[in-house]
Amino acid sequence: MSSLESEKMRLASTVLGVATHLAIFIRGEWHMQAPFLVKFYLFVWIAIFAIQIYYGSTSREASVSTGSLSLCYALGLFTSISIYRRYFHRLRHFPGPWAAGITKFWHVWKCRNGKNYLVIEQLHKKYGPIIRTGPEELTIIDSSVPTAVDGPKNNCTKAVWYDFLLPEIALNTTRSKNYHDSRRRIWDNGFSTKALAAYEERIVEYATTLTRRIEQLAQNDSPVNVSDWFYWFTFDVMGEFAFARSFEMLENEKWHFAVRLLRRAMTLLGPFSPVPWLAQIAFYIAPWMYIVRDWLSMMEWCKKRMGERIQMKVDRADVSHWLIDASLKKGSLQADREWLNGDAVTIVIAGSDTIAPTLVFAFYELARSSKQQNVLFAELKDVDVFDHTALQRCEHLSALINETLRLHPPVPTGGYRQSPPNGMKINQTYVPGNVTIVVPRYSLARLESAYQCADQFIPERWTTRPHMVKDRRGFAPFSQGRFNCVGKALAMREMRLVIALLVTKFTVEFWDGEDGKRLFADMRDLFTAAPGRLDLRFKIRNF
């Protein structure tokens, strides 16, 4: 092939790259096709190489030519994408980092250490309440946004992030409103007042075991790493409700191997959250990567446990009972296996990775303030802590939990929504259609426009000092509307009981040399918050 012909071929490849973007990739969602595209382009490159070998080129000449054509195609494609996103995209007028408007890899790099909540907070200070944090993504830090995207009559849907679990599907990840609403009705049976009453006995059992274990450590004046113990408690409870068997971590005083897999797998959600298409490539093209391997192993383990749970006959109904029973009644048990598998993961993660960090941060705040402990103890000392109705009436207990959820949200930056196709208005700002909207709870909690002394832990703002809450629309720790947390009542029961049991039994303070810095320095935003280690000293109260 002459040099002139080679130049023409390279020019044609460049033009083809531009045309591919303008004719195909500029429209619709492509994240789920990422594995196919990788295989397709690999096939095309091999075919080009093989054709040149067939027509007499040496392997070296064919390699150089194929590489050159591929490079020109990529140059045309990505140059077209970059110019369009930067200068012609419908979000081009919104402020934000220059690179963020072109590629989400900017965000991947920024949150590579799992500190996305701090990255967003820094952007907020620099760019204001509306930030373009991706080519088709706006992060909006305004108290009105949770109601706008989740409240009554909104037409938002879940964003592409929620396809992360595919091919498994679950209540909290399905993007279809119809599928969600149908599945939600089944889940609601598992969290009815009657069902919750049936769960109460098991929650008490595990909370009592937790208290007994901490009492043993207190008697020996040993440090209590609450960042372990509270996770062991919540995972044991959720193992019981998902698979009718505990992980037995409270009894064994160590992490179960499957939960370790899960915890390691969750690190995938930190750096990969901004680019779900890259996660899909990793799942299908590189399952040997250790993080991906952990994720897939965890999913496989949950599938097997759900299979075993389906075959079990249980004396006490659990959450899975209602899901399995609904499939049996429809005669669609096998057809629903993807739902059951995904829902099993949901029960374990959503019921553990949200409650545990809240308990950790609640006791961090209690350790910092003997005053808060005294106020709470005075409220609880004459209350039967095993009576959930009585605990519901304890205003300061509820206020302490609310303030913990506000200042230390268990989901710091997640909860992505997608604007309706025809767009929407948020505080008189028009947001175009099919745009991902991020509403970071960590930053919402620190708005002085919404909370007086926003960065301070003051439970009384929810009771005797209501003037300190200027605008509570942004406080939606369990979300709201159709996508609100189905397990809210169960979560509140667990948190109220554990806090009440421990506060009435012990006083708590930082362990020698502990100041809580590790708790925050090592905290990771993995969709749910993963706090660092916190060692506390529990002292048995003298009555």
Q: What is the DSSP string of 81-148?
A: HHHHHHHTSTTTTS---TGGGT-THHHHHHTTTS-HHHHHHHHHHHH-SEEEEETTEEEE--TTHHHH
Burial label for 331, CB within 10 Å (0-12, 13-18, 19+), is exposed
Other beta carbons within 10 angstroms of residue 207's beta carbon come to 23
Cα–Cα distance for residue pair 192/119, rounded to 1 Å: 39
Going from the C-alpha of 136 to that of each of 63, 92, 155, the distances in angstroms are 36, 10, 18
Strands 137-140 and 436-438: parallel
Contact partners, residue 411, CB within 8 Å, separation at least 6: 354, 441, 527, 528, 529
Is 453 annotated for ligand binding? no
- The stretches of 312-336 forming alpha helices (DSSP H) are 319-330
Closest CA to 161 of 36, 26, 278: 278
Other C-beta atoms within 10 Å of 334: how many? 10
- DSSP per residue, 357-391: HHHHHHHHHHHH-HHHHHHHHHHHTTS-TT-HHHH
Side chain identity, residue 445: A
Rounded distance between C-alpha atoms, residue 101 and residue 89, angstroms: 9
Contact between residue 120 and residue 442 where contact means Cβ atoms under 8 Å apart:
yes
Q: How far is CA 529 from the centre of its chain?
A: 8
Query: How far apart, in whole angstroms, are the C-alpha atoms of residue 136 and residue 140?
Result: 13
> How many other C-beta atoms are found inside a 10 Å radius of the C-beta of residue 449?
11
91-94's contacts with Cβ under 8 Å and 24+ in sequence apart are 91/132, 91/135, 91/136, 91/138, 91/432, 91/435, 94/130, 94/131, 94/132, 94/138
Nearest-angstrom CA–CA distance, 38 and 66: 16
Where are the alpha helices (H) located in 245-369, listed in sequence order?
249-252, 257-266, 269-272, 276-285, 290-311, 319-330, 337-352, 355-368
φ/ψ of 96, rounded to 5, equals 165, 170
Q: Which helix (H) or strand (E) holds 424?
A: strand 424-426
Using DSSP's 3-state secondary structure scheme, residue 192 falls into coil
CA distances from 512 to 154, 191, 222, 224, 236 (A): 51, 42, 10, 11, 29
Q: Which residues are annotated as a binding site?
A: 485
Q: Which residues are annotated as a binding site for heme?
A: 485
